[in-house]
Amino acid sequence: MEKLELIAPCHFGLEAVLKREIQDLGYEIINVEDGRVTFAGDASAICRANVFLRTAERVLLKVGSFKAVTFDELFERTKEIPWEKYIPEDGKFWVAKAASVKSKLFSPSDIQSIMKKAMVNRMKQHYHIDWFEENGASYPVRVFLMKDIVTVGIDTSGVSLHKRGYRQLSSKAPITETLAAALILLTPWKKDRIFIDPFCGSGTFPIEAAMIAANIAPGMNRSFTAEEWTNLIPRKLWYEAVDEANSLIDDDIEVDIQGYDIDGEVVKAARENAREAGVEHLIHFQERAVKDLRHPKKYGFIITNPPYGERLEEKSALPALYREFGESFKKLDSWSAYMITSYEETERYFGRKADKNRKIYNGMLKTYFYQFLGPKPPRRKKYPEI
């Protein structure tokens, strides 16, 4: 099969997690940049990356990269890309998104319209027609300019990969599924350790933890734009990827994953979402305030997304909330706590300085992933077999 270059965008600050995921799938990393990882693969890699990657926002098929500082240059270089190799005569094609950073060309709408004209121009010459019906499969193009270097990709995913298909109901400030999975994978949590989210909201952290524990691929119950690209990807490759995902599921496992929230309606929604994800039997949800957080066992993990107080009227409640959280955590002997928040007084009211801190952009919002580390559990003794 032909070698392709694929680009997987992700949250800024979490590139290393995505890189490891791609390597675990068996693909060669070409480049790691802010907010994206480029890797090599064949047509089956498009299917497997979409089905298996937990932390990528989407998967793009890279079709070109060039320098352009004028719109004429952008037009000519876009026209040089062999679009007919990717888009059939009846294909629906458009520049769905353009982003520009530190580049001479910075107007997204102008970039989009000029590139579309160049694509039409090229394909007119190849297909010898003046009008494209565009009534076939969709080929949305995404373009990114960084310091005048234009990178062009066709989006294979369609709806962003954080839309797993299980979250029918969400709370006020939900964390995306891809970000939740990436943050869990940043920690040393494993399925044999206790996991609690005391601000579980719509249940995203516990659900993603349960899917990781049961080895349920995040994309196996949704569709992707490139499923219609029968000119590039044989249908059987999609079936093979889903069959592989099915064969790897292990949901007969024993886990202790819990989600609490003070709002009973939100807890109901979280249960419904867990049912949709097929992991309801692996999670215990409960209506409970953070001041009532407790557990008899040692060496557990708290991974959570507490309220940030983005709305002014909620800001005044944050000191007491974070103080209660800190006091509950103090009583949990040997536990570790990880929280993502934009609240700048977190450490002050939590009552402890974080052992590690990582800046992560949640959309346009600058947040920090505070890590309060407990001791490692003692190694289990291995007895010789008799």
More confident residue, 306 or 313: 306
DSSP characters for 71-133?
HHHHHHHHHHS-GGGTS-TT-EEEEEEEEEES-S---HHHHHHHHHHHHHHHHHHHHT-S---
Distance CA 125, CA 123 (A): 5
> What is the C-alpha R_g of the chain?
23
Distance CA 267, CA 311 (A): 22
Q: How confident is the model at residue 386 (pLDDT cuts 50, 70, 90)?
A: low
Q: With contact defined as beta carbons under 8 Å apart, do 191 and 212 qualify?
A: yes
User: Mind listing the pLDDT tens digit for each residue in 347-362?
Assistant: 999 999 999 999 998 8
Rounded CA-CA distance 112/141 in Å is 9
DSSP state of 238: H
Of the chain, the percentage scoring pLDDT greater than 90 comes to 90
Check residue 89 and give its pLDDT.
Answer: 97
Check residue 382 and report its DSSP letter.
P
Q: The tokens of 4 are what?
A: 């392709």
Two structure tokens written together for 169:
């109901």
**98-142 pLDDT per residue, tens:** 999 999 999 999 999 999 999 999 999 999 999 999 999 999 999
Enumerate residues 6+ apart whose C-beta is below 8 A from 239. Answer: none
Statement: residue 256 has pLDDT above 60: yes
Domains of the chain: 4-155 (3.30.2130.30), 177-218+240-372 (3.40.50.150)
| 385 vs 52 pLDDT, higher one | 52
Question: Which of these, 57, 232, 10, lies nearest to 159 by C-alpha position?
Answer: 57
Q: Whole-number mean pLDDT of the chain?
A: 95
- Dist. CA 110–CA 97, nearest whole Å: 11
- Give the per-residue pLDDT at 383: 56
CA contacts within 13 A on the Cβ side of 365: 15
What's the confidence (pLDDT) of residue 75? Answer: 98
Average pLDDT for residues 136-158, to the nearest whole number? Answer: 98
* Pick from 250, 256, 347: nearest CA to 300: 256
CA distance 8 to 61: 9
Predicted confidence band of residue 310 (pLDDT cuts 50, 70, 90):
low
pLDDT at 313: 58
Could you write out the DSSP letters of every residue in 320-358?
A: HHHHHHHHHHHTSTT-EEEEEE--TTHHHHHTS--SEEE
E strand or H helix that includes residue 49: helix 43-52
More confident residue, 262 or 380: 262
Confidence of residue 309 (pLDDT cuts 50, 70, 90): confident
pLDDT in tens, 1-22: 689 999 999 999 999 999 999 9
Report H helices in 133-281: 177-186, 204-213, 235-248, 264-277
pLDDT grade for 167, boundaries at 50, 70 and 90: confident
Closest CA to 304 of 215, 217, 212, 174: 174
Residue 314's pLDDT is 75
Q: Where does residue 52 rank: exposed (0-12), middle (13-18), buried (19+ CB within 10 A)?
A: buried
User: Which tokens belong to 161?
Assistant: 């990969």
**CB under 8 Å to 302, separation ≥6 — which residues?**
196, 197, 198, 293, 329, 332, 335, 336, 337, 338, 339
Q: Is the pLDDT of residue 312 over 60?
A: no
pLDDT, one tens digit per residue, over 49-108 is: 999 999 999 999 999 999 999 999 999 999 999 999 999 999 999 999 999 999 999 999
Check whether 220 has a pLDDT greater than 80.
yes
Q: Within 10 Å of residue 90's Cβ, how many Cβ atoms?
A: 12
CA dihedral (320, 326, 331, 332) positive or negative: positive
- Lookup result for tokens 């907010």: 35
Q: How many CB atoms lie within 10 A of CB 211?
A: 25
pLDDT at 362: 83
Q: Please give the average per-residue pLDDT across 293-310, as a whole number.
A: 92
Distance (Å, rounded) from C-alpha 50 to C-alpha 47? 5
pTM over the 0.85 mark: yes
